[in-house]
Amino acid sequence: METHVADLGAVELATYTSLLGIRGFEEHAQDLFSRSLIRGSTHLGIGQEAVAVGARLASRPGDLVVPTYRGHAYALAWGMTFDAAFGELLGRVTGCNSGRGGSKHFADREKGVLPGNAIVAAGLPIGCGTALADRLVGRDRVTIVPFGDGATNQAAFHEALNLAAIWSLPVVFLCENNLYGEMTPLHRTVRIERLADRGAAYGMPGVQADGMDVNAVASVLSEAVERARPGGGPTLVEALTYRFCGHMPGDTEPYRTREEVDEWRARDPITSQRKAARRAGVGESEIRDLETAVAAALDAAEAAAIAAPPPEIADIGLGATEWMEWER
Amino acid sequence: METHVADLGAVELATYTSLLGIRGFEEHAQDLFSRSLIRGSTHLGIGQEAVAVGARLASRPGDLVVPTYRGHAYALAWGMTFDAAFGELLGRVTGCNSGRGGSKHFADREKGVLPGNAIVAAGLPIGCGTALADRLVGRDRVTIVPFGDGATNQAAFHEALNLAAIWSLPVVFLCENNLYGEMTPLHRTVRIERLADRGAAYGMPGVQADGMDVNAVASVLSEAVERARPGGGPTLVEALTYRFCGHMPGDTEPYRTREEVDEWRARDPITSQRKAARRAGVGESEIRDLETAVAAALDAAEAAAIAAPPPEIADIGLGATEWMEWER
Amino acid sequence: MSEGASRVLTYREAVREALSLELENDPDVFVMGEDIGQYGGVFKVTDGLLARFGPLRILDTPISEAAFVGAAVGAAMTGKRPVVELMFMDFALVAADQLLNQAAKMQFLSGDQFRVPLTIRTQQGVGSGTAAQHSQSLEALFMHLPGFAVALPSSPADAKGLLASAIRADHPTIVIEHKALYGTKGEVPEGIYRTPFGQAALRRPGSDVTIASYSRTVHVALAAAETLAAEGIEAEVIDLRTLVPLDYDTVLDSVGRTGRLVVAHEGHRNAGAGAEIAARVSELAWHALRAPVRRVCGLDIPVPYAAPLEAAWLPSSEAIARGVRESLGSATSPQAA
Amino acid sequence: MSEGASRVLTYREAVREALSLELENDPDVFVMGEDIGQYGGVFKVTDGLLARFGPLRILDTPISEAAFVGAAVGAAMTGKRPVVELMFMDFALVAADQLLNQAAKMQFLSGDQFRVPLTIRTQQGVGSGTAAQHSQSLEALFMHLPGFAVALPSSPADAKGLLASAIRADHPTIVIEHKALYGTKGEVPEGIYRTPFGQAALRRPGSDVTIASYSRTVHVALAAAETLAAEGIEAEVIDLRTLVPLDYDTVLDSVGRTGRLVVAHEGHRNAGAGAEIAARVSELAWHALRAPVRRVCGLDIPVPYAAPLEAAWLPSSEAIARGVRESLGSATSPQAA
Ligand SMILES: Cc1ncc(C[n+]2csc(CCOP(=O)(O)OP(=O)(O)O)c2C)c(N)n1
Ligand SMILES: Cc1ncc(C[n+]2csc(CCOP(=O)(O)OP(=O)(O)O)c2C)c(N)n1
Ligand SMILES: [Mg+2]
Ligand SMILES: [Mg+2]
């Protein structure tokens, strides 16, 4: 892949924009939750943005993603609009799922985003299925399935990796190892050092990537994606990352130290990417303008969502199948 | 382990007796099925007997076993009487489960045999649980959990091995790799060469054993059992074996060749063990007498079971919990 | 429903024919399951399909129900029409998350963005001695949690026609065959036809009492009706065919004429399909009912192995006849009357 | 039921107290689940237990529900009394095999050789916006498939007493808490007491209509009863407390006096707990009933996220009051009368 110097600046800036938009969205979500505007819970990926953005960089337009409940970053990286995302967070009719799913279930059919899944590891078999469909049809598409470190102990992980391996499905399993499954440290729930090594049980390559570095993620994933695409089979990619925020609002974080968090914060992918853009020749003022524009776009989308109406009760049957009945 | 020459003969003869009894029982079951005296189905382990008997040799009295639907061999190796076994096969009140379970579910609480499980791999978590109970109580007992090659693709296998590994449970996972899961060859459902290698995904030793050789099984398993007992953690043992009979009555076996079956039959563990007993100094006539005695015992138990009554309909609630209701 | 000629087929052959025709008809249809390809299925339903349609349409899977049901969900969400064979209904419990949390909910929680035209084919019920973990009837689970349409054919013609409808549906469907019916025979129309969901079939007219049933128990109910006819009691036997949607119109019409309803099925009674039917009909036909709705079901304990216990566990034709007699014998109107 | 003093505790604290007392009382009791140790549970129910009882009694598990539920089954079969926290009832579907094919059937299929004194503790229901995969009420599954006793406490006192009973039972039990109740308060007796299964509680006497409910919906029903009282309608509110076994005597006694029954719960209506209650009471109280049993339940679609939809999905006090009014307004006797 050759890139001219001028292009490089644009590329790095685009990546920065994407990261910045996601981070900003998550911070808005934090704030909206604290203002009781988000119902239930919300699982943010602050600190982990480089993995989703790297995944997008490594994939082609049209490639699919099957996110989890911690899935805002993927939806946005795949092109979901802020309007659709804020609308869903707030349960508005303008939301990507018309307010039916909320934070955990962001979906965007047109952009290739399957519904975020709130059952740990349930997206892995589903991702095998989208890949299987593509293989059967002979379609040139890859599915990326992100999930957490804790998910590698869930039943569906095992069956899905094996199925994908034996059928050489065009899917990439992307483990976001943020060291904790909810509040439980990974070392208490597995006895191995590298989760990537679990690929070997299926005859599948397992590789690690620095999940705090968007380009590192993109390059490791590119290889996996481009192996998968022509039928070379799936890969287990373990991105080493960290969430700066709690697992969910209210998480008191007794399971980790301030120092640990600070160490990881020092590797904030947003900060690094800003530097990368500058190194690639983008001027400080151009970056500032961009930052202002992103912040404004977020504010505007949030305001629009707050002002948008909730779904009509009369439409409660949207998405019901033809044989469901919902009169009382 | 030192054994005197005279003892060695007795030991090899005892092992031969155990193998012979199991083989004979399975052949009786085949015959009973063909005479429509066994209902449903029956999954026999003809050819695989050395694994169960080896497991018994490797364990101590009191150690537990959690068999599958292909579990007659384990029940008998663990000391279940022929009467209880035939009784259950035929749905008699004299059966080990009082006729409630049938061929798939042989259980013998006193002998340490948990109910055979008819859901593939479901016994693995249960075996973790008996081992966990022992660990919590500080009891010096090991649980052995046999299952098939196909079961290693089932969800519960994964979760159970991981749980046992992280908690160092006193359990041994004993995979009877007979090359087929029902009618599907293993190489079509996994992409690795050795199933034992799946242990590595859990930080657990994985070892292979010649499943046609009772002493090979016993020696590999002994190591695993004696590592597990004092808290050294679980092992995945893969016994390479073969069933000479079909998966179930009516299996037309299109998935394998006559030659393949014959090759494995040449390694029949019963024949080998007979030779081992002879080599250890047991006389031909002693062996003949034993064979006659075993055959007679089987015939007598079969006849007794055929003559035994089925459970009374009035007792249909045996084993129902206190809050079940079963009037119509 | 039918067009053109018909011939006698077994229930098994009828299912196979539906699969073949839909596989021919639509390249997006494919079939997945354990031992369904080379071996043709442990009940031999899919025999010959691999040879005919090849390994990209007929997929043998590992023993990984959660993965292949989940894969079918994903494939269905992106345009395919997978037909999954679950070898025994009991194994739905190892794939319950994919079935009931995923397939059943994807369309709704995505705000109607993704549809799941998935068909699950399975078999259930008491055969002969398959015992507690291979004999269950689990239709009530799929009835309770909204998402699946649920069919339980009792005849070869319906086994074909309902499966064909299921495969064409744009929503999750489960077609629950009965292991004891595979060898039964009946007239089956040739060619493609699709038996609509939500249309019960009147299997026997009668004026004294209505028996509503489905799957194998329809035949048991018909036998009971014969016994009763000899006693001068004319039972109307309705084969519900699908439980979701359920054709209450036909049931209510019949109860409007007979004033009495007995529901018979093999699944457990407690909170089973019969409970819903009894509750709904009691509400909707309150004025027509001359006796409480009776239920004759599988007992509320696991299925035992031994033959006499298994027989006692099942809703026999004698038990159904007794239910009818009790219905006819019981007080014809509430106290308040 | 109670002895000695009592004080006001939250529902959460009451559950924790039951766990503490049973852990103290019996060394065979241990507790297992995700994030229940160091973190004290995502609903903070088990807070402090690890510090008090140590890691051999309070076990943090991996995210492997099938394995740890199965391990609890095995441990229970060999003499322990495990108490498993399933973080959300929805996750029962990833452990459904161990719950419903294994725990529920081991005693029966072993011919009474093995008992399974296992307790599952979980929480379910609509909280605020937990959406389709974290809001389900799945009690009907455990009611339908025989094996588990099923309790759904509505008050702190019952949350403690029913859990204590469950832990002492020699059979599988599931105690289903409600996520929206954890913060609610009530008088809770000190010390060990065990609220028997199968004994409903009369929460409000009334002569015009009976409302049977359980879990959070009891409070909704009581609110409906207040509304109705203002209209001159006196509703008797029964808290069933356990669905298996179910105290039909108390319900029938009440219906014998009121002649009318409304069943209210959050689970789906179709083939839900209310269906069974309606069917059974219609059969057993046929002569006493002056109107068909009505049901007011969660809608038969998945739970939506948006606030107004979620509220519309739930059985509100207004909906329950409407059900009561319809019951009172509907014809008082069958046509045949
Ligand atoms: C089957 C299942 N079990 C438990 C949960 C509750 N839960 C939600 S997120 C989570 C932690 C998952 O950890 P990990 O896979 O590491 O992902 P992360 O949240 O760290 O991104 C758990 C246990 C669930 N949603 N589904
Ligand atoms: C969860 C589940 N899926 C499918 C089956 C049907 N089934 C019974 S035995 C069997 C094959 C198991 O193969 P393997 O584990 O190799 O054991 P083997 O029978 O060869 O001893 C299958 C698929 C089952 N009982 N349970
Ligand atoms: Mg994590
Ligand atoms: Mg095998």
Convert the pLDDT of each residue in C242-286 to its tens digit. Answer: 999 999 999 999 999 999 999 999 999 999 999 999 999 999 999
Q: Which of C13, C17, C34, C134 is catalytic?
A: C134
Residue-wise over C173-183: b if at least 16 C-beta within 10 A, else e? bbbbbbbbbbe
- Compare CB distances from B102 to C93, C131, C270 and report the shortest one's residue: C131
Which residues lie with the beta carbon below 6 Å from any ligand 1 atom? A 70, 118-120, 147-151, 154, 176, 178, 180-182, 247; D 34, 63, 65, 87, 91, 94
How many residues comprise chain A?
A: 328
DSSP reduced 3-state for C295: strand
Interface residue D127 vs chain A (CB under 8 A): yes
| Cβ within 8 Å of residue C199, ≥6 positions away | C241, C242, C247, C250
Residue-wise over A33-51: b if at least 16 C-beta within 10 A, else e? beeebbbbbbbbbbbbbbb
Cα(A287) to centroid(ligand 2), Å: 60
User: Could you tell me the pLDDT band of residue D4, with boundaries at 50, 70 and 90?
Assistant: confident
Is residue C300 within 8 A of residue C272, CB to CB? The reply is no
Is residue B173 within 8 A of residue B196, CB to CB? The reply is no
pLDDT at C118: 98
Structure tokens, B267: 């390694």
The mean of the pLDDT values for chain D is 96
Distance CA C266, CA C176 (A): 13
Q: Which chains touch C (3 or more CB pairs under 8 A)?
A: A, B, D
Alpha carbon nearest to ligand 2 atom 9, residue: B182
Is residue B311 within 8 A of residue B93, CB to CB? The reply is yes
Mean pLDDT of D284-297: 98
Q: Which of D134, D219, D265, D268 is catalytic?
A: D134
Contact list, B91 vs chain D (CB under 8 Å): none
- Residues of chain A above pLDDT 90, percent: 97
User: Could you tell me the pLDDT band of residue C153, with boundaries at 50, 70 and 90?
Assistant: very high
Contact list, D30 vs chain B (CB under 8 Å): 136
Is residue D183 within 8 A of residue D215, CB to CB? The reply is no
Tell me the Cα Rg of chain D. Answer: 20
C139: annotated active-site residue: no
**Residue A119: closest CA among A91, A90, A162, A157:** A157
pLDDT tens for the 328 residues of chain B, in order: 455 666 999 999 999 999 999 999 999 999 999 999 999 999 999 999 999 999 999 999 999 999 999 999 999 999 999 999 999 999 999 999 999 999 999 999 999 999 999 999 999 999 999 999 999 999 999 999 999 999 999 999 999 999 999 999 999 999 999 999 999 999 999 999 999 999 999 999 999 999 999 999 999 999 999 999 999 999 999 999 999 999 999 999 999 999 999 999 999 999 999 999 999 999 999 999 999 999 999 999 999 999 999 999 999 999 999 899 998 8
Residue C334 has pLDDT above 50, yes or no: no
Across-strand partners of B145?
B173
Structure tokens, A72: 């805002």
Beta strands in A38-182 (DSSP E): 64-65, 143-148, 171-177, 180-181
Structure tokens, B43: 């999954």
Structure tokens, D87: 């973080």
Is residue B287 within 8 A of residue B278, CB to CB? The reply is yes
What Cα–Cα distance (Å) separates residue D36 from each residue in A26, A150, A305, C285, D64? Answer: 27, 15, 37, 50, 14
Alpha carbon nearest to ligand 2 atom 18, residue: B148
Q: Kindly report, residue by residue over D222-245, the tens digit of the pLDDT.
A: 999 999 999 999 999 999 999 999
Distance CA B183, CA C39 (A): 7
Contact list, B104 vs chain C (CB under 8 Å): 131, 133-134
pLDDT at C4: 74
Residue C2 has pLDDT above 50, yes or no: no
Cα(B68) to centroid(ligand 2), Å: 9
Chain B residue at shortest CA distance from D245: B323
Cα(A183) to centroid(ligand 1), Å: 10
Q: Kindly report, residue by residue over D255-276, the tens digit of the pLDDT.
A: 999 999 999 999 999 999 999 9
Instruction: Please give the order of strands across the beta sheet that includes C294-298.
Output: C201-204, C235-239, C209-213, C261-268, C294-298
Is residue B203 within 8 A of residue B268, CB to CB? The reply is no
Is residue B156 within 8 A of residue B125, CB to CB? The reply is yes
Tell me the Cα Rg of chain A. Answer: 20
Give φ, ψ of A247 to 5 degrees: -60, -40
Question: Given the structure tokens 């709904």, which residue do they identify?
Answer: C280
C245: preceding bond cis by omega (within 30 degrees): yes
Q: Kindly state the DSSP code that residue A18 receives in the 8-state scheme.
A: H
pLDDT at D335: 38
Structure tokens, D310: 């979620």
Distance CA A197, CA A200 (A): 6
Mean pLDDT of C293-321: 98
D134: annotated active-site residue: yes
Which mean pLDDT values do the consecutive 10-residue runs of chain A (328 residues) have?
Answer: 72 97 98 96 97 98 98 98 98 98 98 98 99 97 98 98 98 98 96 98 98 98 98 98 96 96 98 97 97 98 98 98 90
**Residue B152: closest CA among B179, B116, B115:** B179
Decide whether any atom of ligand 2 lies within 6 Å of the B178 Cβ.
yes
Q: Do C109 and A101 touch (CB under 8 A)?
A: yes
- Compare CB distances from B163 to D67, D78, D198 and report the shortest one's residue: D67
Q: Kindly report, residue by residue over D152-205, the tens digit of the pLDDT.
A: 999 999 999 999 999 999 999 999 999 999 999 999 999 999 999 999 999 999
pLDDT at B120: 98
- Residues of chain D above pLDDT 70, percent: 97
Is residue D213 within 8 A of residue D178, CB to CB? The reply is no
| Cβ within 8 Å of residue A279, ≥6 positions away | A12
ipTM given for this complex? 0.98
Chain A residue at shortest CA distance from C81: A133
Distance CA D38, CA B162 (A): 20
**Ligand 1 nearest-atom number relative to CA A119:** 26
Mean pLDDT of C29-52: 98
pLDDT at D333: 41
Q: Do C305 and B325 touch (CB under 8 A)?
A: no
pLDDT at B327: 86
| Cβ within 8 Å of residue B29, ≥6 positions away | B38, B42, B44, B72, B89, B103
Residue-wise over D170-183: b if at least 16 C-beta within 10 A, else e? ebbbbbbbbbbbbe
Q: Please report, as a single letter, which amino acid is at residue D138.
A: L
How many other C-beta atoms are found inside a 10 Å radius of the C-beta of residue A265?
Answer: 13
Distance CA C11, CA C17 (A): 10
DSSP state letters, C9-55 = EEHHHHHHHHHHHHHHH-TTEEEEETT-SSS--TT-TTTTHHHHH-T
pLDDT at B234: 98
Q: Kindly report, residue by residue over D81-116, the tens digit of the pLDDT.
A: 999 999 999 999 999 999 999 999 999 999 999 999
pLDDT at B6: 67
Decide whether any atom of ligand 2 lies within 6 Å of the C229 Cβ.
no
Interface residue D110 vs chain C (CB under 8 A): no
Give φ, ψ of D279 to 5 degrees: -65, -45
pLDDT at A301: 98
Q: Kindly report, residue by residue over C219-239, the tens digit of the pLDDT.
A: 999 999 999 999 999 999 999
Contact list, A313 vs chain D (CB under 8 Å): 308-309, 312
Residue C212 has pLDDT above 60, yes or no: yes
Distance CA C117, CA C28 (A): 11
Q: Kindly report, residue by residue over C84-132, the tens digit of the pLDDT.
A: 999 999 999 999 999 999 999 999 999 999 999 999 999 999 998 999 9
Pairing mode, if any, of strands A64-65 and A235-240? unpaired
Chain A residue at shortest CA distance from D294: A328
CA angle D295/D301/D302 to nearest 5° reads: 120
Across-strand partners of A33?
none
pLDDT at C337: 33
Q: Kindly report, residue by residue over D133-166, the tens digit of the pLDDT.
A: 999 999 999 999 999 999 999 999 999 999 999 9
- Compare CB distances from C75 to A130, A159, A319 and report the shortest one's residue: A130
Mean pLDDT of C182-201: 98
Distance CA D65, CA D95 (A): 6
Residue C331 has pLDDT above 70, yes or no: no
Is residue D142 within 8 A of residue D244, CB to CB? The reply is yes
Q: Kindly report, residue by residue over C48-94, the tens digit of the pLDDT.
A: 999 999 999 999 999 999 999 999 999 999 999 999 999 999 999 99
DSSP reduced 3-state for D215: coil
Q: Please report, as a single letter, which amino acid is at residue C198.
A: G
Residue D334 has pLDDT above 50, yes or no: no
Residue D118 has pLDDT above 80, yes or no: yes
The H or E element spanning position A287 is helix A284-307
Distance CA B67, CA B147 (A): 7
Across-strand partners of C150?
C174, C244
Question: In degrees to the nearest 10, what's the CA dihedral of C278, C281, C282, C285?
Answer: -160
Scanning chain B, the segments in alpha helix (DSSP H) are 5-34, 49-58, 72-77, 82-89, 123-137, 155-166, 214-228, 258-265, 269-279, 284-307
Is residue C109 within 8 A of residue C95, CB to CB? The reply is no
Structure tokens, C263: 């529901």
Cα(D59) to centroid(ligand 1), Å: 17
Measured from the alpha carbon of residue A52, the closest ligand is: 1
Residues of A numbered 62-91 whose beta carbons fall under 8 angstroms of chain D's beta carbons: which are they?
A: 91
How many other C-beta atoms are found inside a 10 Å radius of the C-beta of residue C234?
Answer: 15
